Amino acid sequence: MYYCNEFTYTMLKNFKADKKRIEKVKDLTEREIEILKLICKEYTTAEIAEKLFISPHTVDSHRKHILVKTNSKSIVGLIKFAMENKII
């Protein structure tokens, strides 16, 4: 079989993007994914803390770690990351 260069390039590019996406999601802990899902559902820090039986400070710490691990700058970036990575 022969594939044109454009097709091959596109497939390799998509494969590399998928691999990076999977690696970023693997960096998140189960708790961070759980908190990310709640953030995407528009829960406040206090609501997340109450639901998960943790302190609001702990929620904020997790949120900061999630922002760093996903290279996001805002909640919008987190939601975009969650959607792109099929977390939500």
Task: Enumerate the domain spans of the chain.
Answer: 5-84
Residue-by-residue pLDDT tens, the chain, 88 positions: 666 777 666 766 665 554 455 556 778 999 999 999 999 999 999 999 999 999 999 999 999 999 999 989 999 999 999 998 989 9
Q: Write down the pTM of the prediction.
A: 0.74
CB 71 within 8 A of CB 65: no
Instruction: Give Cα separations from 10 to 18, 21, 31, 83 (angstroms).
Output: 12, 16, 35, 22
Q: Which of 64, 62, 60, 86 minimizes the C-alpha distance to 73? A: 64
Q: Which of 75, 73, 87, 72 minimizes the C-alpha distance to 37? A: 87
Q: What is the pLDDT of residue 10?
A: 72
CA distance 38 to 54: 14
Class of domain 5-84: alpha beta
Place of tokens 């770690």: 65
Q: What is the pLDDT of residue 19?
A: 47
Q: What is the pLDDT of residue 76?
A: 93
